[in-house]
Amino acid sequence: MRAQGNAMDYVALPKIELHAHLTGSVSRRTLHEIWLRKKEAGETDLEDPLVVMPEGKHDYNLKTFFPLFSSYIYNLLTDEESIRHAVTSVLDEFLADGVVYLELRTTPRATGCLSAEAYVRVLLDAMGAWESHYGGDDAPLHARLILSVDRRHDLATAESILALAARLRSEGHQQQRVVGLDLCGDPTARPDGGVALFTPVLGAAARDPHGLGLTVHFAEAEASGSRAELDTLLGWRPGRLGHVIWVREDEEARREIARRGLCLELCLSCNVQAGMVRGGFEGHHFGYWRGVDGPRLSLGTDDVGVFGSPLSNEYRLVAQHFKLDRDQICALAQQAIDSIFGGEAEKQRLRDIMWT
């Protein structure tokens, strides 16, 4: 299943995706379909997504990337029908790319049609319906949901997101799909340790009675790579760190990450195409961390709809630029198993799939 002749079949390789934002994972074609329906119904005056974001254009950076969400993509995904369409398409595309376990993340947000809680409930219902269509527990891909706190939020909003996660998880099987919290958003917001504002929420996420996984966007940009911020985030005891770019010169932080054996969510194409790292793919910090004992590595797509590189291609890029052979690629794909937030039964399912 993993090889075709002497070549690696990166699509057939069973893969775990832990760093995918829902809205950033919606393909341009799907956005176009949603836009077309809204346009014909007189519900939007936005320009066609295939004009604003032409297929093949992936050279976005941190300055041009975030406005796509705040002023465009969020203004298309506003009603139940468009959200269900988007979720179903995203799950179909990850399945087609060989992903067997997926943790999508999204920021609960009110739209003109839905409250923030209703928005999340629609997502969960759409995810459940998709898995039921593919056989429920026997579905080839199991999807879970992480709720994100945005750096621009105030404390009350962050508290409401934690309360929503706890409330949903208390309701039964379907809502158990909510498995964690995330800190995300524009890394230039709340610099120099200002994210300490969220310590009462994110510092408590993994503790009883919540028992949620915690992942944080960590040193994604220079503005969010200060010593004060790194100390704050590590103090929350996250299980996973996303990006981990601006710690190369901080030997103490690198040692602490290694000592804790944290899982690092590394997103090559996003980082390189957005100009977040120097030296292209060969200069990506994956090369450093793969030689360090302790951390587990998990490749992620980040925003595949914007940057256009499916997870299978991330593995292909790693093999090409870092000279990994077939056995090393398979071992890399397995590293994230023990860092998922989906529970022990799901970890065993993945071992059964990925160690055969």
DSSP 182-233: EEES-TTSSTTTGGGGGHHHHTTTTSTTT--EEEEEES-SGGG--HHHHHHH
Contacts of 133 (CB under 8 A, 6+ apart): none
Q: Which helix (H) or strand (E) holds 15?
A: strand 15-21
Tokens of 87: 């979720």
Pairing state between β 7-8 and 240-243: unpaired
Nearest Cα neighbor of 109 from 72, 66, 148 is: 148
Q: Do residues 243 and 265 lie in contact, with contact meaning Cβ atoms separated by under 8 Å?
A: yes
For the chain, give the longest Cα–Cα distance: 57
Nearest Cα neighbor of 18 from 186, 143, 203 is: 143
Catalytic residue among 220, 229, 265, 314: 220
Q: Do residues 178 and 211 lie in contact, with contact meaning Cβ atoms separated by under 8 Å?
A: no
Tokens of 32: 């176009």
Placement of tokens 């390789």 in the chain: 13
* Residue 106 β-bridge partners: 147
- In three-state secondary structure terms, 80 is helix
Residue 220 annotated among the catalytic residues of the structure: yes
Q: Which residues are catalytic?
A: 220
